[in-house]
Amino acid sequence: MDLSAFRDPTIARGLIEAINATETGPVKLMEVCGTHTVSIAKNGLRAVMPENVTLLSGPGCPVCVTANHDIDTAIEFAHRPEVIVTTFGDMMKVPGSYSSLAREKADGRDVRIVYSPLDAIALAQKEPDRQVVFIAVGFETTAPLIASAILRAQSEHIDNFSVFCAHKTVPAALEALINDPDVQIDGFILPGHVSTIIGSHPYEFLAENYHVPGVITGFEPVDVLQGVYMILKQLEEKRAEIEIAYHRGVMPEGNPVAREMVERVFEPIDADWRGIGVIPGTGLGIREEFSAFDAAKKLPVTPPEPKEIKGCQCGEVLRGMTLPYECKLFARGCTPEHPIGPCMVSSEGSCAAYYRYTDYGRTES
């Protein structure tokens, strides 16, 4: 697909002018997706917003919102000598309470990076005498892939493969933020990737119940600016709707086939979000029918009592209460090369984006 129009400086300038021409009071808009955070930082979009518009980063990085308890559990799997732990690369450096998967690998634990859960299945077939555990962290975007892997393992009778599922779903987390008295959000830049799966309908409660507008948008500069403009027009006109500005990727009904697969394998459970706490029904638990592939049941472990990293304000950043550079650790010991908190680990993390693409990342002393 030719994306040149979505990167066109002339179109972008026109949207910036239109944004500046809107008439609203001070507003705070939250971009929910980590890829939006990167695009906004990389393209300097915060700098072109009018003074009354603040763009906040939200809990849109699945690695960042994974609670220490879940990371500690993944590490405990690595402590079992019969287990090979597999995960995506962005989980390796994420600090838990006392260690990280990267540190465990350096200490001799069998932890391997894979690019797909199907790679983990292939490894299980090659290592029939070992248990292969895939650490599944993500949102609705990657849940269908995890579901398909479990279905494949079942159909092929691969009994030494299992999944530790720390997946989360997005919409109810936005409701938790709206109901947080310490958080003020006037509109949401809604995630494009997640919405390709779930569509726009699951967000409609934001407008109907809370009168908070939202726009689903893509990731190019023009996409993001178009989304901001559409939200500001709603606020200017005192409307609250869920609109789609990303029609090339999102349909209102989402992807019914992917949603059906997820619903077949998973069921809603409570999930602990870093910085937010436990949100009922926002986790994806593996259904009893597939419990043979549920690592938490098949290979139970007991992680240590979790503890938070002293001085790290990742939780406040994920709630839009603190900007990354306001954390005392930012660029002062906490960098993408040597992360102290998870928001600096993932390429989609707010702190990593600010560090890489703004002057705030050049203040290390």
pLDDT exceeds cutoff 80 at 260: yes
Q: What pLDDT shows up at residue 328?
A: 92
Question: For residue range 297-317, what is the model confidence (pLDDT) as tens digits?
Answer: 999 999 999 998 889 999 999
Please say whether the beta carbons of 32 and 203 come within 8 A. no
pLDDT exceeds cutoff 70 at 361: no
How far from 206 is each of 79, 254, 303, CA to CA, in Å? 43, 18, 37
pLDDT exceeds cutoff 60 at 153: yes
Q: Which two tokens stand for residue 295?
A: 């690592």
Handedness of CA 137, 143, 149, 154 (dihedral sign): positive
Q: Residue 83: helix, strand or coil by DSSP?
A: strand
Question: For residue range 55-81, what is the model confidence (pLDDT) as tens digits?
Answer: 999 998 999 999 999 999 999 999 999
Please say whether the beta carbons of 188 and 214 come within 8 A. yes
**Residue 215: which H helix or E strand, with range?**
strand 214-216
347 band by pLDDT with thresholds 50, 70 and 90:
confident
Please say whether the beta carbons of 116 and 145 come within 8 A. yes
Residues 42-64: what's their mean pLDDT? 93
Residues 147-165: what's their mean pLDDT? 98
Amino acid symbol at 219: F
360 band by pLDDT with thresholds 50, 70 and 90:
low
Closest listed residue to residue 139, CA positions, set 111, 114, 174, 112: 174
pLDDT exceeds cutoff 50 at 365: no
Q: What pLDDT shows up at residue 346?
A: 85
Question: For residue range 1-34, what is the model confidence (pLDDT) as tens digits?
Answer: 777 888 889 999 999 999 999 999 999 999 999 9
Q: Which residues contact 303 (CB under 8 A, 6 or more apart)?
A: 69, 72, 73, 75, 76, 97
Q: What pLDDT shows up at residue 317?
A: 93
Residues 264-291: what's their mean pLDDT? 96
126 band by pLDDT with thresholds 50, 70 and 90:
very high
Q: Give percent of the chain above pLDDT 70.
A: 98
Strand partners, 164: 135
Q: What pLDDT shows up at residue 364?
A: 42
Gap between the terminal Cα atoms of the chain:
44
Q: Give percent of the chain above pLDDT 90.
A: 88
Q: What pLDDT shows up at residue 279?
A: 96
* Ranges of each domain in the chain: 1-295, 314-359
- Phi and psi angles of residue 342, each rounded to the nearest 5 degrees, phi first: -65, -25
The yes/no answer on whether domain 1-295 falls in CATH 1.10.10.10 is: no
Residues 104-122: what's their mean pLDDT? 97
